[in-house]
Amino acid sequence: MRETPVLISGGGPVGLVLALSLSRLGVRSLLVNDRKHTTTHPKLDVVNCRSMELFRQLGLAEKVRAAGNPDYANQYCSIAASANGPVYGVLSDQHLMYQPVDAGRRLIEACTDGALPLEPMQRIAQINLEPVLFSEAQADPNIDVRFGWRLVDFTQDASGVSAVIESVDGGAPEQVRAQYIAGCDGPKSRVRTSLGISYDGTPDLVGELFIVHFRSDELAKLYPNNEPYWHTWIARPGYSGLLVSPDASRNDYVLHRPFAPRPGETLKELIDQAIGTKVEYEIVQSGPWRPQFLVSEKYMEGRAFIVGDAAHQYMPTGGLGMNTGVAEAHNLAWKLAACIQGWGGRALLTSYESERLPIGRRNRDHVKVNAATVFEVQFGKPEYLLEDSSRGAQARLQLSQELERKVSRLYESFGVEIGYIYRDSPVIVRDQAPEPIDDTCGYVPTTWSGARLPSGMLEDGTAVFDHLSYGAFSLLVCNAEPEEYADLLMAARHVDMPINVVEINSPNLIALYERKLILVRPDQHVCWRGDSLPSDCSALVNRVRGA
């Protein structure tokens, strides 16, 4: 029988991130994936700011960037009659999200109020992201990567999980004994269905959509500087859709349509109408798909956990599918490691559901509003939209304004990306200050307990986040003497809870962080803050480690 601390079912980006996160903490895992190779479909087109912060902590950010959109390339979004125009409006430089990565980094370095993430987003297709994560996992001695293998069944008891896996090519099944199992195995998750966990939400709410993946070396010339815009929303009488360029340096494009080709309409006609002029291209694949707005009723049962698309399915209006899953994998990994290493308690594991399920619902609701906004803007365009007349000009101006006022919420949503707070977690000390407003679009930096610590730079120019270990809690000290926090360090070390001290010396950060002492978890979320220690430091330590 094969023994492993953690068995992971599913080797997409989320499963691979979970395995790599565990390995960074010294925990071995066995990962099975029924596909033999990484995906051949572009799928996602963005790794958002928060995911890039997490990849940075895992030492993967630059490898991900090297595989994606060049640092100098735009990340613009437009609304137009076609790729060839006329263009009604462009979202370009007014927000960090649209800036090329190198320009975004300069904005972040100059930011002193914590209002920006540490990392810009990265425009990249999943066909280019997965090989980076797969290669990293395959080279990692802590990860047994089994592509071409699948989970058959599993049972759990008080001390662990017994599972059966098998090769998709046949042969004898293999018995596996693990301490925990994680289902990162997508919408049809074997782990979720075995646990009998249902989805919350109405399936097929918007019906069936249609997607075409094609390649063209000529399409880029229709855009300024031969750099395709990231998204081109197409809106004109009789035609609507979204043309996506996951990476300006490659020739892959994805066309999303609200319905399949009409009788007698060919795929070529569909693409030609989106492009608006004749260019050469090759159709790679196409087909219908059904976007969902579903979240699982539970995220765990005993020693089994579900993560990523196994736990939720979102329409990609906001890019929150995989990105939500990456944050879940990062959240779960350090908690599993803490329990495997002996210093974490059971409440640390149950906090995975307490923390991430509300965020899953919050993100689903944000995506649903985004979808409704896009449909409202794209459909029902007047027949005179493209007329060379005053009413045509007014209609085009209105579309440009709607892009800035409405569609922009898909992109300018730091609140949903970095502003989420674990409000009712059993392993976070409830803050006594007034609760921050929950805004999925806007972001106001706060160290309120449960929030992601605002990013900032120390006086030596290094990022605070780069001093926060994934393998330990961090005590941020703002103008406090060692004797003021010695009891907390002693209480933590008494139960082998790893903890480091980070001295904050920047006046801007001292003001931003609001308290003299801030306890930050391995996942960069605040779990307690105060100007002085509580009377019982052992109780505080036991709370945050789930004991």
pLDDT of residue 206: 84
pLDDT of residue 540: 98
Structure tokens at 140: 């990692």
pLDDT per residue as tens digits for the range 156-184: 999 999 999 999 999 899 999 999 999 99
Least confident among 28-32, 38-42, 212-216: 38-42
pLDDT of residue 102: 96
pLDDT of residue 94: 83
Residues 6+ apart with CB under 8 A from 460: none
Q: Per 3-state DSSP, what percentage of the chain is helix, strand, and coil (rounded to 5)?
A: 35, 25, 40
3-state secondary structure of 499: strand
More confident residue, 362 or 375: 362
Query: What is the DSSP track for 23-61?
Result: HHTT--EEEEESSSS--SS----EE-HHHHHHHHHTT-H
**Residue 490 clears pLDDT 90, i.e. is over it:** yes
Interatomic CA distance for residues 263 and 253, integer angstroms: 24
pLDDT of residue 93: 85
Distance of CA 219 to CAs 73, 80, 249, Å? 16, 15, 12
**Residue 207 clears pLDDT 90, i.e. is over it:** no
**Residue 224 clears pLDDT 90, i.e. is over it:** yes
Distance of CA 376 to CAs 87, 380, 381, 394, Å? 18, 8, 10, 18
pLDDT per residue as tens digits for the range 86-133: 999 999 988 999 999 999 999 999 999 999 999 999 999 999 999 999
Sheet arrangement for strand 473-478: 499-504, 473-478, 517-520, 526-530
Cβ atoms of 308 and 505 closer than 8 Å: no
Average pLDDT over the chain reads 96
DSSP letter, residue 423: T
Instruction: Give me the percent of the chain exceeding a pLDDT of 90.
Output: 96
- Grade residue 259 by pLDDT with cuts at 50, 70 and 90: confident
Cα torsion through 121, 259, 232, 128, rounded to 10: 40
Q: What is the mean pLDDT of residues 248-265?
A: 92
Question: Is the CA virtual torsion 334, 340, 345, 346 positive or negative?
Answer: positive
Nearest alpha-carbon partner for 11 in 220, 185, 257, 226: 185
Distance of CA 8 to CAs 132, 148, 154, 233, 322, Å? 18, 14, 12, 38, 16
Burial class (CB in 10 A: 0-12, 13-18, 19+), 27: buried
pLDDT of residue 123: 96
pLDDT of residue 316: 93
pLDDT per residue as tens digits for the range 515-536: 999 999 999 999 999 999 999 9
pLDDT of residue 380: 87
Alpha helices of 302-427 — where are they, by DSSP H?
321-341, 346-378, 390-405, 414-418
Nearest alpha-carbon partner for 63 in 2, 141, 128: 128
Q: Are strands 174-183 and 304-306 parallel, antiparallel or unpaired?
A: parallel
Distance of CA 155 to CAs 151, 194, 300, Å? 12, 9, 14
Locus of tokens 């098998």: 166
pLDDT per residue as tens digits for the range 60-92: 999 999 999 999 999 999 999 999 999 999 999
pLDDT of residue 232: 98
pLDDT of residue 363: 98
Cβ atoms of 337 and 352 closer than 8 Å: no
Give the distance from CA 25 to its chain's centroid: 21
Cβ atoms of 183 and 307 closer than 8 Å: yes
Q: What is the mean pLDDT of residues 383-391?
A: 96
Locus of tokens 């060692």: 482
**Residue 480 clears pLDDT 90, i.e. is over it:** yes
Q: Where are the beta strands (DSSP E) in 201-328?
A: 209-215, 231-236, 239-244, 252-257, 282-289, 293-296, 300-301, 304-306, 312-314
**Residue 254 clears pLDDT 90, i.e. is over it:** yes
Residue type, 373: T
**Residue 202 clears pLDDT 90, i.e. is over it:** no
Neighbours of 284 (CB within 10 A): 15
3-state secondary structure of 15: helix
pLDDT of residue 205: 85
Interatomic CA distance for residues 462 and 539, integer angstroms: 33
Residues 6+ apart with CB under 8 A from 171: none
Nearest alpha-carbon partner for 17 in 307, 417, 359, 303: 307
Q: What is the mean pLDDT of residues 437-451?
A: 97
- Grade residue 300 by pLDDT with cuts at 50, 70 and 90: very high
Nearest alpha-carbon partner for 378 in 345, 408, 407: 407
Nearest alpha-carbon partner for 375 in 244, 233, 492: 233
Length of the chain: 547
Question: Is the CA virtual torsion 398, 401, 406, 408 positive or negative?
Answer: positive
- Grade residue 204 by pLDDT with cuts at 50, 70 and 90: confident
Q: What is the mean pLDDT of residues 412-423?
A: 97
